[in-house]
Structure 1
């Protein structure tokens, strides 16, 4: 039979293998009584450097130490201690270490960092509870006469199962129920409903008939354990009705032991075991059951940690795969299908759906996967109200995922798909019964997924935009070959349209359509519709041409303002007469005011610029030098302003500086504020004042 010290060291080795900690036992004065068990090199190094003496100093105050505690032995590095009880008195102290706070810096070999257990606020209590349970087990090992079944329990086999990632709980139960022992069956019941538990694991006699059996909290012996969460021994219960869960067996157990074990996800499992032959539990059996309960809880914790790590690895692998897929396809629809597929499968929810706006036609789309039990139109109305027609992020979300109940009563995690402050769409993933921990993991994963999705959709739109811009530029240059004068007029009209739409804060897609229509005004509407079938360019031209011909266009027409700006720009550049533009049917007073103000200011500016001498390169250099003296602007704002003063539009600036047009617009807004001007003309005027000054 193993001695108490030998048995204790085996227990320490077992838990060291499970948790990556180093364990040792001291008396009340700090004298070490067992060898140091565990592979934590950092802990061994700190013990060698004087930590043991510091621990002895702590134990001078052992009158105050009556429960497990953590001691910070160095910055961010902790060791645990738990009192070992002998009856009502403290006989020893169990030490376990070390745990390192997240982001703590410590001097240890690089390959040790991965094996050191991490301590953070939400697992501190879990670690202390573990130390308390192992201290309890240590007390059992230190009994003067260890029970034979406990000493004979092969902790080496159990530890090997843990290290090899095998079914350690099943190995433990097999040892406990081996032939000749007093315990004939061991099992675990896990919570599968609000009040329902199901036997999920069982080994021993009649295991096949008991697996899958259910009971309700408070019902029978097992239900009582789930309710009280306290260990209990039930003897001579062959005729007791509270053992009804065993009624399908030919014989009911005579002896039953029940206890509970905490799962890694915070849930409670019911542990039970018993005998069909023995009516009474001997002292050795009680000790064995107490030890088995502690080891089972430890094993379940390790299983939970491993499962969580496997899930995290799976999700990380999925995110890498998503990034690869997203980067390899320019098709927004395919991206949407990828987002739907990944989200519904990893969250294991009943449905996933994406509500997205189509920048080409200004309409919305709802694409779903799985089963959404409700009126789709009701959901769309709800989201349109929250996002103001998909134009802004839902209030109080800061662009992060959030949990909500949909109009149909189903619960879902809602994830904005955004790029900066620009909303691309909404990803909604249905969830069923999930623990608090699972919800946190789902939300964290979906937040990352939605960021990837939002950026990818934006980049896909930019790729499509680049293709359209290339076609536009090619057609525009073709006009130059045919008629230089027409080319110059269309170029000027496009520049006027770019500035006017910016002043009116047109949506980017609509502004591009107006500018493109002005550039290609020499072509027929039918030709443009064939070349750009998806966009609004042809519609802008059609509406604008009707206004130029003084046809009646309803003010409610979605293209009326865009077409009006096109008509203003093309009519003005034809004869350089503002009166021609003002004579058109007035569709929008604000648009007319913005255009007229621009033309008057631009005309004056052109006259002033024409008086400057020197080459274009010298002008650019002079402008850049003048802007550098405007030191209240950031370096990036200076770059934007210099290009602005050269007559570049937002898209030109974005391409030159490798930033988005949206970012350019933000910089311009800040420049206007810092220069105390209201438009581009005012900003350019400030540049030229500095130019003459320096």
Structure 2
């Protein structure tokens, strides 16, 4: 153990002066750590030999924890004091030399006759002092206090080193986590090797809503790895159910530990930490000992940190998977739209589904089972299955879905199955408008993730739509084809679909305020849904007005065209799309100087009369009180203006204020004059600008 020798030397000097004794300090093996000039010890033995004497004393003395007297020569005594740390002797203090009153003269006489240590005999009166039993006891107390001071220093140094080690370990773990060099298995090994009291540790991952499987276990891999338990079952299952960390002690007779006992492990104490992700438990970090009935706080503290690091790894894996999933979904989205806009034949549809499915996840096989037009037979194409297994599987599907009419699927939900040879598979119906075209069959190594299943369901829906369009290629118009493809967007990208559908609703309502023959509502609507796609795909829909709007919008995004130069269709597209992005606050309405002012005023008027209630976001009272133009309004005019901002028309205002419609009209005329505006949309716009 490394120590602060300078501190030890300083303390030694203080207590040398305090006790009047010569002091040196040695380690457990008798190696001298400190120095003492002109010590009595050197008169007794040389420096090298005194070290040997210390070693001999330490080896021959029984274990002790209090200061002892020891005769280093007959009648010449030292005080031998242990320095204790964590109930173990780490160092020794040697303090001497002296004779016990009144033996000094008799000791000298004996040594003169029997000792050859001439230096000692010559300086005996000078260095060997005589102390009473009371004085010796006092010196023992001083040396015991010295040992306590050094013990506290050792403890502080030990804690400091431990903190440094832990900080270094934590920093190292964070570094490894940042560089993706650390796995859950690595964390378990680190914890296990640094805690000898622990006999086993493991990590269980959730494999279903109610079941967990032990993925990692050290060192008893052969006992626990791969074993499963249910939420609420036994010690681990209880933690999974309650989602709270737990430490179990005195488990020898506890029936809840039967899960471990039946696998040859007999724990006395167990800890278990849930790993929570998005308010749901995804795993359990656990460990235990067969040696003691309870675990120390230090072990639990380290276990808690390990659980936190496991959560970091799981979260990182989750977000990596989410990023991959989003990337895959974007790829699938573009590939599907590219494919749907260039349909060829049923066979090309089969091969598209097959190629996309096999590349989505690590799956043992993918099969596409298509029903013929009369639903009398099944044709299968497959990747990953032998011809023999394809024949077996085709026969199985035929028996289940064709020969037995009662077993025909009444749902579009995926169907989990086992093949004839015992392999897990999930069968996803390929359906469009209640017409069953076949099944997308995905072989499984493990339970399928929700994200992966969603991608396969998207593909199956795309396949159903593609087959429907191919069957009706001569009867479907271009607009119907685009509408069908847009319907698919609800499954491919639901967030974009919801946003585009909301924009479409606003456009349908806002159109009533425009009355402009140049507006192409269908082109703007299609642009809302296709706004995130590549221009090459948009060109394939063969709807020129939409292509023109989309291309113009892209020019604005690339700063190749100013918004003020854009067509009315694109300005409406930008206005509504920006409103949806910016709400509930819509500062762009007053700040945007590029969009046609009349268009903005009409949009504000529409908002004021719609359920969106623009007035909720305006500080109307403040505007009416502080702006001189509004101060000129009478109390009645102010009341009418507030109702205008709530979207009320003249008759509704009249009914609420118990006045005639003609009176309301006169008040509105005076309001326009005082505010220097032409209509109510300009009034709303002016108040909005003042309220920002």
| TM-score interval, smaller chain | 0.3 to 0.5
Q: TM-score, normalised by structure 1?
A: 0.40
TM-score, scaled relative to structure 2: 0.40
Larger Rg: 2
